[in-house]
Amino acid sequence: MTKTTVKLQIPFESLLDAIANLPLEGKHQLWQLLNDEINQSEGNFLPEDSYDWGPKDSQKASH
């Protein structure tokens, strides 16, 4: 199956208007996507649970 790519130029203001009109769930999905992309670009991509639980081996020993 071939993948088709389309490049569009959308004015930033139009993009902001479209985002403002998204339902709440759409805004959450967009936020998560943008957050992941920003973290990857910054080179510090973190898993969803970013709390530092310490070394995994120490957790096994304490339980």
Take residue 14 and report the two structure tokens written for it.
């139009």
Does the structure show a pLDDT above 60 at 60?
A: no
Q: Read off the pLDDT band of 49 (50, 70, 90).
A: low
Task: Give, as one character, the DSSP assignment of residue 21.
Answer: T
Residue partners of 4: CB distance under 8 A and separation at least 6: none
pTM over 0.75: no
| CA dist., res. 36 & res. 31, Å (int) | 9
Does the structure show a pLDDT above 60 at 57?
A: yes
| CA dist., res. 55 & res. 63, Å (int) | 13
| CA dist., res. 48 & res. 38, Å (int) | 14
Task: Tell me which of 56 and 47 has the higher pLDDT.
Answer: 56
